[in-house]
Amino acid sequence: MKSRIRLQDIADMVGVSRTTVSNVLHGNTKRVSPETLDKIQKILKETLYQPNIGSMMLSGKGSGIIGFAVGYEYIHGHPALMDAFMSRLLSAVEEEAVKYGYYLMIIDGSEKERLVEIASRWNVEGMIFIGFSEESYDILRREINKKAILVDTYTKQEEYTYQNVGIDDYDGGYQVGKYLRECGYPDALFIAESTRVRMNMGHGASGRKSIYGGPGLCNEKRWDGFKAAMEAGGTYCRRRRFIIVDQDMEKRRQQYTEMLPRFLEARALAMASDYNAIEIINFLRDHGIRVPEQISVTGFDDCIYAEYIRPRLTTVYQDVDNKGRTALRRLMKLIQGETLPQMHIMSPVKLIVRDSVLDHRITKITK
């Protein structure tokens, strides 16, 4: 059986002291040259080095654990971690954490007391939050008191007061709206799934209190962009064109059935996620409706399944891997005592045109 590699073994391989390797593991890299840092991180990755958490905690030098708190219980009616976006984001964060010598601990965020207790018991060195409203995070940060980065969280204030990593949802919605309008769909509908961020607040609260309901602030931003692009064509885009469907799969299908005549009249559906776009394409095909000949469909995210569905999905691409890496890297800087003046990182998005939209500009030319 192969013996477990030790910290001293890595130090000997690089030709540095054991302390230097330990500093890299704990993110204390200010006095480590870039060349040495690269060598150590490469060996840590190649050897799959696993630090002894118990020893690290007893030494008082930190646990080497990053907490990843998930506020969503369900996404699209399934457990949150089954979602393609969530799994890809987690994979990117975990891969980056390993480069810094950290473990990633996933924590269910539905109950405040349990979340706080786990973060404290394991002495996490930092936290990444996703699926939390601004209000719920304000409550949590006072009790957990750890360096933290939020992902895809919107503020109702003029400026951010916490570190957030997100995307330009407004521009994504605008690109979709502009494309559909120019393709000949001035009456296209925007459809988003309801978002329920739930947390048991404790301290006498009965049951699970819904911190935020409705379509979610990110989808509100996407709708705002979609609406602005539609109105750039000279017609008013009414709020009734923003349709919110239920999280429950069976209830969604019932809603789709009831709205089918309206879908056929609009001739185009801008779905707020790739999951819902693929779902609606399959629903329409089950009802004998051709996509995109009778109804065009767009998505959002450009998940791995967007190219597998037929017709291939036209959607908005966001770099989920980069989002995860950026969140972890910025958290490392906070843990190392650095100040990050930019509170909100908003990455660009771009429209990926495939086959799920019938472009009437082209059909007119070819007739």
Q: Which tokens sit at 202? A: 């404790």
Q: Which tokens sit at 216? A: 């979610």
pLDDT of residue 229: 98
Read off the pTM.
0.81
pLDDT of residue 199: 57
pLDDT of residue 51: 63
Low-confidence ranges of the chain (pLDDT < 70): 1-4, 26-27, 48, 50-62, 196-215, 363-367
Q: Which amino acid is at 69?
A: A
Cα 170 from Cα 191, distance rounded (Å):
15
Cα 125 from Cα 185, distance rounded (Å):
50
pLDDT of residue 363: 58
Question: Which residue's entry shows tokens 């770099």?
Answer: 319
pLDDT of residue 20: 87
Parallel, antiparallel or unpaired: strands 296-298 and 268-271: parallel
pLDDT of residue 362: 82
Please report the DSSP string for 25-58 in residue order.
HTT--TTS-HHHHHHHHHHHHHHT----HHHHHH
Q: Which of 309, 275, 268 is nearest to 180 (CA)?
A: 268
Cα 25 from Cα 249, distance rounded (Å):
44
pLDDT of residue 366: 52
Q: Are 332 and 268 in contact (CB under 8 A)?
A: no
Cα 92 from Cα 36, distance rounded (Å):
24
Please report the DSSP string for 294-342 in residue order.
T-EEE-SB--TTTTTSSSPPBEEE--HHHHHHHHHHHHHHHHTT-----
Q: List beta partners, residue 78.
A: 75
Helix then strand then coil, in percent of the chain rounded to 5, is: 45, 20, 40
Cα 128 from Cα 147, distance rounded (Å):
9
Q: How much is the CA Rg of the chain, to the nearest whole Å? A: 24
